[in-house]
Amino acid sequence: MVSPDGGVTMRVEADRGKCMGAGMCALNAPEVFDQDEDEGLVVVLESEPAAGHRFAVRDAANLCPASAITLIEEDAG
Ligand code: SF4
């Protein structure tokens, strides 16, 4: 049986040192990113997003104005 994500794993890392709290990530992928209440800096809710969230996560990474989001995608097979 083929898994829905094709055996590819995705890991998300966010650099709070670079983040400027623009909120694009939380807007694009609210299941995966949030912002803390004090500074508005990124919080990763789901560091290994489910297959159904990955499209939005890629968008969020591309749209982050601070390039603070790193995606590590690996072929688990
Ligand atoms: S989009 Fe980038 S700068 Fe904005 S909150 Fe998310 S990680 Fe931070």
- In this structure, what CATH number is given to the domain that contains residue 63? 3.30.70.20
Number of folded domains that form the chain: 1
Bridge partner list, 35: 42
Structural domain containing residue 52 = 8-75
Tokens representing residue 31 in the block = 């299941």
* Residue 24 confidence (pLDDT): 94
What whole-number distance in Å separates Cα of residue 64 and Cα of residue 19?
8
Indicate whether residue 15 lines ligand 1 (CB < 6 A).
Answer: no
Atom number of ligand 1 nearest to Cα 67: 2
- Is 67 a domain residue? yes
Q: For residues 25 and 33, is the Cβ–Cβ distance under 8 A? A: yes
Indicate whether residue 34 lines ligand 1 (CB < 6 A).
Answer: no
- Is 26 a domain residue? yes
pLDDT of 2 over the 60 cut:
no
- Is 32 a domain residue? yes
Query: How many other C-beta atoms can be found within 10 angstroms of the C-beta atom of residue 72?
Result: 10
Q: For residues 69 and 56, is the Cβ–Cβ distance under 8 A? A: no
pLDDT of 77 over the 80 cut:
no
Q: What is the pLDDT of residues 25-73, one digit of tens each?
A: 999 999 999 999 999 999 999 999 999 999 999 999 999 999 999 999 9
Indicate whether residue 22 lines ligand 1 (CB < 6 A).
Answer: yes
